Amino acid sequence: MKQILKAITKSARETEKFAEAFAREVLRLKTKKAILIGLEGELGAGKTTFAKGFARGLGIKEEMKSPTFILMRVFRFRSPTSRTPRSRTSVFFHIDAYRDQIDFREFLRSNKNILLVEWSNKAKKFLPENYFRFVLRDPTPTLRRGRTSREIIFYA
Ligand SMILES: Nc1ncnc2c1ncn2[C@@H]1O[C@H](COP(=O)(O)OP(=O)(O)O)[C@@H](O)[C@H]1O
Ligand SMILES: [Mg+2]
């Protein structure tokens, strides 16, 4: 896996927009198996914020909540643009591996599935060989409150 891109977002909104744009690219990919996005980063780094934007980019309207107390949330969706190969009904799995790691390997078989795993570093044994990895962090680790910039490093 190699580093593809390093971005800085200046607000939660920007992180959402970044993830939204990434989701639209993901929808255009042709794959034989599921696509998995792994998110790493401390509490408050912006993983769920990213997940919200990502879901919106897929065309999912439902409100996204932090699933830390829920192991997994499943959303059926239809690709928003007719030109995308993934035009049929697809399934988005939003997983949080912080406390317990659900065995999601079963869902990796179908190319109708898109999985986003928060705390993917805690679920390494279930990760496929190829996946999209994002590491989020606050680049200004000071005591200053209300800081809203985040570094996002993308590996694939
Ligand atoms: N640039 C940014 N990107 C993402 N979240 C940000 C950013 N700046 C501030 N925030 C805030 O940080 C918090 C991130 O929370 P959340 O996305 O739930 O993190 P995690 O899922 O990693 O614990 C939210 O309150 C969000 O509004
Ligand atoms: Mg979270």
Four-point Cα dihedral 104, 107, 111, 115, nearest 10: -40
Domain ranges of the chain: 3-139
Instruction: For ligand 1, say whether the CB of 85 is within 6 Å of any of its atoms.
Output: no
Pocket test for ligand 1, best of 13, 37, 49 (most atoms within 8 A of CB): 49
How much is the mean pLDDT over the chain? 91
Instruction: For ligand 1, say whether the CB of 120 is within 6 Å of any of its atoms.
Output: no
The predicted pLDDT at position 68 comes to 60
Give the right CATH number for 3-139 from 3.30.420.40, 1.20.1250.20, 3.40.50.300, 3.40.50.2300: 3.40.50.300
In the predicted model, what is the mean pLDDT of residues 86-102? Answer: 88
The predicted pLDDT at position 42 comes to 95
CA of 87 to the centre of ligand 2 (A): 29
Whole-prediction pTM: 0.93
Q: What is the pLDDT of residues 98-117, one digit of tens each?
A: 999 999 999 999 999 999 99
Q: What is the pLDDT of residues 65-76, one digit of tens each?
A: 765 678 999 999
Does position 88 have pLDDT exceeding 80, yes or no?
A: no
Ligand at shortest distance from the CA of 46: 1
Instruction: For ligand 1, say whether the CB of 46 is within 6 Å of any of its atoms.
Output: yes
Ligand at shortest distance from the CA of 9: 1
Backbone angles phi, psi at 107, to 5 degrees: -80, -10
Instruction: For ligand 1, say whether the CB of 152 is within 6 Å of any of its atoms.
Output: no
> Shortest CA distance to 103 belongs to which of 81, 127, 73?
127
Instruction: For ligand 1, say whether the CB of 140 is within 6 Å of any of its atoms.
Output: no
